[in-house]
Amino acid sequence: MPLSVGDTLPDADLIRIGEDGPETVSVSSLTKGKKVALFAVPGAYTPTCHSAHLPSFMRVFDRLKEKGVDDVICVAVNDPFVMRAWGEETGATRAGIHMLSDASSQFAEGMGMAFDAPPAGLIKRSQRYALYADDGVIKVLNAEESPGECDVSGGEALLDQI
């Protein structure tokens, strides 16, 4: 069952590329005492993720900060090297978005948002959603009905709800 507003984010381990290579970071350490906008995508470089979802958060990044959001985080069930490359290629990293890997699908499963789409080669991926959390507690959660859509989970939609 998916988490909902009022629930605490699962304390999964995510991976990012640091100065010395891959490093693990817990969701609790990323969110403790912070207001975060977090969005999850089915996969880096996949059509809707690449052309709509990630760019929507790049467009509203400054306005999210103006509303008191401390960090904007993108999570995908890809390896951390792919997430780094995607962030660098799109400019998301330069924009300030944290590109984090949920390589084992631990966070997607903890959110109750994991899905499989074998015909597309997507196994144990995350549904598309965006959330706003304050100190690890979900205040807004917008999940898409279809992984190919980016309407309620886009940056503008989340911005309007904060």
Per-residue pLDDT band at 117 (split at 50, 70, 90): confident
Domain extent at residue 56: 13-161
Residue 132 lies in a domain: yes
- CATH at 108: 3.40.30.10
| pLDDT exceeds cutoff 80 at 123 | no
Query: What ranges make up the beta strands (E) of the chain?
Result: 13-18, 21-26, 35-41, 71-76, 98-101, 114-117, 122-126, 129-134, 137-143
Tell me the backbone φ, ψ of residue 80, rounded to 5 degrees.
Answer: -65, -25
Residue 116 lies in a domain: yes
Q: What is the token pair recorded at 70? A: 């401390």
- Residue 24, pLDDT score: 98
Residue 103 lies in a domain: yes
Overall domain count for the chain:
1
The stretch 32-46 carries a mean pLDDT of 96
- Residue 42, pLDDT score: 94
Residue 64 lies in a domain: yes
pLDDT digits 0-9 by tens, 59-95: 999 999 999 999 999 999 999 999 999 999 999 999 9
Residue 8 lies in a domain: no
Report which secondary-structure segment, H or E, holds 110. Answer: helix 106-111
Catalytic residues: 49
Q: Is the pTM of this model over 0.85?
A: yes
Residue 17 lies in a domain: yes
Residue 97 lies in a domain: yes
The stretch 102-125 carries a mean pLDDT of 87
Residue 2 lies in a domain: no
